[in-house]
Structure 1
């Protein structure tokens, strides 16, 4: 039986986009249900088993990501990266930077109509993928010793499907499939990163349907947006404003080899998907949160590159963010853990996260 999803206020904008898009999907009574597609998908990947890949971590990819994020150095005492040599072998990857490795490798003709790779897509019509959230862990060995991924290492990524569940949006009755995937990254010293992701698959959209939404202007940060109250007497609330340009989104798409057109094609994002502009990547927001965490933790140069790696982060995307709009990240941290909220210019919570320090 399909589960019902309840959208709160912070996700209402996202729900409006999804519901308006579903109007133009031509579904019939004999279309496969989310429940049957979920069952078929899970059966297929259970029989396939875990999927391994091996890759040597390239310093050039790490350099380009840091520059894309407008960070000229990896760490406080690291060399400047602009127009310079890439980080040498042995350089540890900052938390979250593994996301630009083990990218999908498909011919363009093998991609979906929206440009996404179809490696873990359920069957039609549930092929419209969105990154909904997940959890990343950085396991420590005995004695609390971190095992970081490093430039030059040969790393093994193992991907396995954990779940596939049918769900329903209560307000619209729209069906969807939620897929849970786990990626484990191992080097010569064992497991370094465990990355669990949840993908939402909605029904595919036609590319020749009517226009969904008229263009809407992007806006700046709401002046009424105030920091949340500290969660405890010992915690402090830190804030950071960010604005991702179309160039940043294009370069991040290129580095992750992500062809999803909502991130770089304004006509597709507006006219097909119903967004007002191109959409900021969920993984890019995740990296921005982790960068903010390590900047706060490492102020004054008191912590080395290993101390700023958390034990884990769990996160959930609730509302889209758009290029050229300034938004704010609030981090409530007490030294042992952090609670993060990203607010859109309209005051909606776009992403929530909880960070645990080791």
Structure 2
């Protein structure tokens, strides 16, 4: 389908829906544990950690149906936005009960909103997708995620500096992202986006400083940290917002601060500047 920025055409995608089914097999969860440098311990009947559902319901397409960035070409479930760069901007979750490894699950997805805006770098298009995941006990959680489409950067463009995250944190740890970590997560999520494994493409086409750490992987790490500082409790809600990319080979830090029923979280660059902000509530 021909890509477009015609708002009337793009609005026809609002309320477009699809449904996917999957079985929460133990193998992907065990491979994720090892990707996080842990022993593989999860088995049938265990609780699937929050956000690890991204290892399931994988989107697939033949090689001939992929766009230049490695994603499936647009115009199917997602609207055919005529802007070349696609990124996760953030997401929100409401949790009702945990999912367990081994169960069959359904994910009902709908395009909630398509909005065209103009930013500092030119035209932007924000697409909000809502998912509801259910098992035999009913609705387990809902998720809304925001996708932003934008132009390629100008050759002389410089990255915008985000604010420092400061030092007022109760828990902090450092992550050393490697090419293998990014490759494994791309493989586990069947994510063909070339910014995560094709260094020349990431630098020369999309204008990044190097291979980009997946936004969902960073969000998963922040959710994991929030649970660890909350005695393993299951969250009631979680929201995150990406501020700037993180790159392979550049250590980044995760931070958490508990305030009442909330855990405030951030991921920061090696210079201490904000890359992702999040809040989990228990």
Give the alignment's TM-score, normalised by structure 2.
0.89
Distance 1:59 1:314 in 2: 26
Aligned to 1:88: 43
1:17-96 correspondence to structure 2 within 5 Å: 33=5, 36-37=6-7, 39-46=8-15, 49-72=16-39, 81=40, 87-96=42-51
More helix by share: 1
Give the alignment's TM-score, normalised by structure 1.
0.71
Instruction: Check if 1:179 corresponds to 2:124.
Output: no
TM-aligned CA deviation for residue 176 of structure 1? 1.3
Distance 1:59 1:328, change over 3 A: same
Counting matched residue pairs gives 272
**Cα RMSD for the two superposed structures:** 2.2
Distance 2:246 2:171 in 1: 20
Q: Mean alpha-carbon deviation: is it higher for 245-254 or for 114-123? A: 114-123
Aligned to 1:133: 90
Aligned to 1:296: 229
**Structure 2 gap ranges (5+):** 158-163
Aligned to 1:161: 111
More strand by share: 2
Aligned pair partner of 2:136 in 188, 198, 207: 188
Instruction: Check if 1:336 corresponds to 2:261.
Output: yes
**Structure 1 gap ranges (5+):** 1-30, 73-80, 140-146, 206-210, 215-224, 231-236
1:101-158 C-alpha deviation (Å, 9 max, x unpaired): 101011111111100123444325224210000102212xxxxxxx211111110100
Distance 2:259 2:107 in 1: 33
Contact 2:166 2:272 in 1 (8 A): no
The higher radius of gyration belongs to: 1
Q: Which has the higher contact order (CA 8 A, sep 6+)?
A: 1
TM-aligned CA deviation for residue 345 of structure 1? 1.7
TM-aligned CA deviation for residue 204 of structure 1? 6.4
1:152-188 C-alpha deviation (Å, 9 max, x unpaired): 111010000110001111x34x001100001111000
Instruction: Check if 1:108 corresponds to 2:63.
Output: yes
Distance 1:115 1:98 in 2: 22
Distance 2:114 2:94 in 1: 22
1:262-277 correspondence to structure 2 within 5 Å: 262-277=195-210
